[in-house]
Amino acid sequence: DLSDRAIAPGSARVICARTRSSVREIMHSTLVAKNVMRASCKKLSRRMSTIPNLETMPKTTVSRLSNGMRVASEPCAGNTVTVGVWVDTGSRYETEENNGVAHFLEHMFFKGTKNRTQTALEKEIENMGGHLNAYTSREQTVFFARVFKEDTGKAMDILADILQNSNFDQNLIDREKSTILREMQEVESQIEEVVFDNLHATAYRGCSLGRTILGPAENINKMDQAMIKDYVDTHYTAPRMAVIGAGAIDHNELVKLADTHFGNVPTEGKKPAVFEKAIYTGSEIRERYDDMPEAHIAYALPIGGWTDPDTFPFLVMQNMIGMWAETMPGGQYSRVPLIAKSAKLRMAKKIHAFCTQYSDTGLFGVYAVGEPQALDDLMYNVQGAVTDFAYDVDETLLEQAKKAMIIQYLGVADGSTQVCEEVGRQILSYGRRIHPVETVARIQAVDAAAIKAAASKFLYDQCHALASIGPTHEMKDYVQMRRGTYRLDC
């Protein structure tokens, strides 16, 4: 009975004062959230208003040499040119015995040729004011040079020389082993790199796609001239290579240069290249270290490859989750529940969604860094963020993500090197260049129904892959987490 309760003098005023303070705090938080959203929308609108007329953007011209090598070029504004060679090979085309040879070969191509010593090669690039670079991925190996327009011919001559006349001297190979082993140590010190290598190892266990790009140390130590030459003779054939140019370049000139320098590249290898089909396995690799301050976790589910019809819905989903770190302000006001809860409840220190695709498969998921005592809540919300796409789609967040994607895509398309990389990747992945008009149209065509359909097909009630490093003792086991892909109250 409230009438029998004694009320201390002034207590009602204190309660009211506290209530007014709480209301003010709530109103202030709401106002800040609205201002953050309004500023974000205005920024998107300003950026969208500066997007050029897509119909007038340059188109890519593609030709094919008599030996089957493709030549593609796309003009860009400016006086520089980026030319390169994209090769349809990488660590996925290796065996367990020679795993690491593709990356090792990338290093050896810069150690001198029959016509140029390593020093002469470096000086020639430096005297042109150019930039020569290369990288190896699981499915592609790339060599490119950025130079001034008048030095295009010289750059093509250098690329042809290193790819066809390199010295694979055993002494140079032995000397390079220590460099690659040091690089391996650097990679192993980057926890995120190790987590994603482990994610591939568990998701594609027993397959070439699950092996690392650098390969194991024992393979590096036994690398020899015969192994490297065998890999080149098998995979560096004309139909598997594409010469790409972007910038202030004429297509006919590029075709002539390509024919002059690469016209003698063989059509077939000494033995057929072996492409091992990827087989996904729902599984996990947990490396528990209780002395680490945070746990690093990658959670993923299998999706289709580059040419899959649901590629663009998943790219939009990736942007809908987005990325966040505790150093970024305003996280608690995010429309993304995973980010908002992580910021408010301090569940995570870093979050970013990823959509990693290959020719025939892919992984969609979330990478998170969190403190051990919050891992149970963190992974519950990570799984909810992924599985939720099959249930409900935030239409406002969807439109924001699509606009952000278009802006980001057109920003990447600004500059000869970025355009050259995009053209080269698409020529090998799709067999053609997707014009910005088509790309933007495909992004804009993604609606809530497409998101739900793709999520229901690939994300709903599927076995997940997980890799973690750190103090993971608070994280549920695999069977318990498996329930999170079809119900949210696990």
Annotation says 176 is catalytic: yes
Annotation says 106 is catalytic: yes
Tokens 């999170």 locate to 484
With beta carbons less than 8 A apart as the criterion, state whether 426 and 150 touch.
no
Which listed residue (122, 176, 287, 371) is catalytic?
176
239 contacts: CB under 8 Å, gap ≥ 6:
67, 68, 69, 267
- Cα 232 from chain centroid? 26
Neighbours of 35 (CB within 10 A): 12
- Cα 272 from chain centroid? 29
Which listed residue (106, 139, 294, 422) is catalytic?
106
With beta carbons less than 8 A apart as the criterion, state whether 310 and 396 touch.
no
Distance CA 299, CA 382 (A): 8
Instruction: Read off the amino acid at residue 93.
Output: Y
Would you call 67 exposed, middle or buried from its count of C-beta atoms within 10 A (0-12, 13-18, 19+)?
middle
407 contacts: CB under 8 Å, gap ≥ 6:
44, 47, 48, 51
Name the residues annotated as catalytic. Answer: 106, 176
